């Protein structure tokens, strides 16, 4: 029998402050409806220099181990997916490994390809276990990022930050991945990038949306071809994409998930052979509100309150989806679409586990979000203007890590 492999449990860490998106809109002289209805945002996580990609990753991983009672002696791999690394050489994974006092006999590395780096790490872990090379050991995959475009830029309302830690094993209580069913699509494009030495990302915003949709169409069609071959979906009265209980997307801002879902449907409608006859009618059918409501809307609860988390954003959608409907989805197949600028997209699928609701209850996501403090736009701007290498001396909350200082280019962390 083929091994069952996938995500056993997850944990989320977010910065301790957020700004209300309507406050930000008003401060920028923008109609708040543009940020709420137009982009789908409600709140945006705001980090200070003490909450960097390392401290968020270590906090999420420590929380996962503590909440789920993970036996760390059974871990054989630690991968950190990030596009906001803190050193050109020393990986975030080595910091996390040290802060959590994990076993020496582990493979540790960072994985980078913009927002796709976390999925690349997840697939490395899944395939390591599925191949048998893991010899029964589990892997920790941590997606961590701080999305930063800068004050008064077009990307400003699509910032955010946080980390999602995933335990990957042969006991996939959250999601048993359909190993080998992945569809991928790569293109060499300049849609979003962050040159060495810059804190803020550069982005060609509208072009980046086109690149995302183009790449995901290729990735979805690749997945669908394999799923059709294996009889997991069919050309039927229901479109192949409608045969997935839910579809989760990379969420740079929530409205993007709606656009992505319409694109997946358009692929099916164009390829079905008996769909609407004209391009206009196909576009209309692709934008189906009932389909979006049934298959996508419930996954966005956390993303709307945290903002973009780059590598972690798809896994924040997974957390939001299983937090909302873990019990109802048990035993059902869902689809997941990861996109990283530059670019690479991957569509994959999996079956939600019977214990998903129980595992998600332990992740205690309501408390994680409720503990945050709402700050004014003035305070958000003050935090954004702080130098990255001089963190304020704030005691870490119990169970969390903070960057304490950078001395001779060496980072020191406190907490947990």
Active site residues: 83, 115, 250
Q: Does 250 bind ligand CAA (CB under 6 A)?
A: yes
Site for ligand CAA in 341-360 (CB under 6 A): 341
- DSSP states of 129-171: HHTTTTTT-EEEEEEEEEE---TTSTTGGG-EEEEEEEEEES-
Choices 6-14, 249-257, 270-278, 393-401 (CB under 6 A): range interacting with ligand CAA: 249-257
Site for ligand CAA in 269-288 (CB under 6 A): none
Q: 408 vs 2, 29, 198, 389, 405, CA distance in Å? A: 50, 42, 20, 11, 10
The alpha carbon of 391 is separated from its chain's Cα centroid by a whole number of angstroms, namely 26
Evaluate whether 137 touches 113 at the Cβ level (below 8 Å).
no
- State the minimum distance, in angstroms, from the CB of residue 96 to ligand CAA: 22
Site for ligand CAA in 133-192 (CB under 6 A): 154-155, 158, 191-192
- State the minimum distance, in angstroms, from the CB of residue 310 to ligand CAA: 5
Q: How far apart are CA 122 and CA 338, in angstroms?
A: 11
Q: Does 308 bind ligand CAA (CB under 6 A)?
A: yes
Q: Does 116 bind ligand CAA (CB under 6 A)?
A: no
Q: Does 50 bind ligand CAA (CB under 6 A)?
A: no
List 128, 223, 253, 380, residue binding ligand CAA (CB under 6 A): 253
Q: Does 33 bind ligand CAA (CB under 6 A)?
A: yes
List 18, 128, 249, 339, residue binding ligand CAA (CB under 6 A): 339
Q: Does 315 bind ligand CAA (CB under 6 A)?
A: no
Q: Does 203 bind ligand CAA (CB under 6 A)?
A: yes
- State the minimum distance, in angstroms, from the CB of residue 37 to ligand CAA: 4
Q: How far apart are CA 228 and CA 223, in angstroms?
A: 9
Question: Would you mind telling me the total number of residues written for the chain in this entry?
Answer: 416
Residues linked to residue 99 through DSSP beta bridges, in sequence order: none
Evaluate whether 334 touches 248 at the Cβ level (below 8 Å).
yes
- State the minimum distance, in angstroms, from the CB of residue 337 to ligand CAA: 11
List 4, 26, 28, 38, residue binding ligand CAA (CB under 6 A): 38
Is cis: bond before 343, omega within 30 of 0?
Answer: yes
User: Is 237 exposed, middle or buried (CB count within 10 Å of its CB: 0-12, 13-18, 19+)?
Assistant: exposed
List 128, 212, 223, 348, residue binding ligand CAA (CB under 6 A): 212
- The nearer residue to ligand CAA, 192 or 220, going by C-beta atoms, is 192
- Label the pairing between strands 373-375 and 344-352: unpaired
User: Is 238 exposed, middle or buried (CB count within 10 Å of its CB: 0-12, 13-18, 19+)?
Assistant: exposed
- State the minimum distance, in angstroms, from the CB of residue 157 to ligand CAA: 6
Binding interface with ligand CAA (CB under 6 A): 31, 33-34, 37-39, 115, 154-155, 158, 191-192, 203, 205-206, 208-209, 212, 250, 252-253, 255-256, 308, 310, 339, 341
């Amino acid at each position: 029998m083929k091994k069952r492999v996938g995500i056993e449990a997850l944990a989320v860490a977010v910065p301790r402050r957020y700004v209300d998106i309507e406050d930000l809109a008003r401060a920028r002289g923008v109609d708040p409806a543009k940020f709420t209805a137009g982009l789908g945002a409600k709140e945006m996580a705001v980090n200070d220099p003490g909450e960097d990609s390392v401290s968020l990753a270590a906090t999420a991983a420590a929380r996962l181990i503590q909440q789920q009672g993970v036996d760390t002696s059974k871990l054989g791999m630690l991968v950190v997916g990030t596009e906001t690394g803190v050193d050109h050489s020393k990986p975030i994974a080595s910091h996390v490994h040290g802060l959590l006092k994990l076993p020496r006999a582990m493979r540790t590395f960072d994985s980078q390809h913009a927002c796709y780096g976390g999925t690349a790490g997840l697939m490395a872990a899944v395939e390591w276990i599925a191949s048998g090379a893991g010899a029964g050991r589990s892997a920790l995959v941590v997606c961590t990022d701080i999305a930063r475009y800068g004050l008064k830029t077009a990307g400003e309302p699509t910032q955010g930050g946080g980390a999602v830690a995933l335990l990957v094993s042969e006991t996939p209580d959250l999601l048993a991945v359909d190993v080998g069913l992945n569809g991928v699509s790569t293109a060499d494009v300049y849609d979003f990038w962050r040159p060495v030495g810059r804190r803020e990302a550069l982005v060609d915003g509208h072009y980046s949306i086109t690149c995302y949709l183009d790449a995901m169409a290729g990735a979805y069609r690749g997945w669908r071809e394999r799923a059709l071959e294996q009889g997991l979906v069919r050309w039927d009265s229901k479109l192949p994409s409608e045969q997935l209980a839910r579809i989760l997307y990379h969420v740079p801002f929530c409205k993007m998930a709606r656009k992505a879902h319409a694109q997946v449907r358009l692929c099916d409608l164009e390829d079905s052979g008996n769909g609407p006859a004209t391009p206009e009618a196909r576009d209309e059918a692709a934008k189906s509100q009932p389909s979006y409501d049934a298959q996508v809307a419930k996954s966005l609860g956390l993303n709307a309150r945290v903002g973009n988390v780059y590598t972690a954003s798809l896994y924040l959608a997974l957390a939001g989806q299983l937090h909302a409907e873990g019990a109802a989805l048990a035993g059902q197949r869902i689809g997941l679409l990861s996109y990283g600028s530059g670019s690479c997209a991957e569509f994959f699928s999996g079956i939600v586990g019977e214990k998903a609701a129980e595992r998600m209850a332990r992740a205690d996501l309501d408390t994680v979000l409720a503990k945050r403090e709402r700050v004014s736009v003035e305070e958000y701007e003050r935090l954004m203007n702080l130098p990255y290498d001089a963190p304020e001396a704030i005691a870490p909350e119990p169970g969390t890590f903070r960057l304490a200082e950078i001395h001779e280019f060496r980072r020191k962390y406190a907490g947990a």
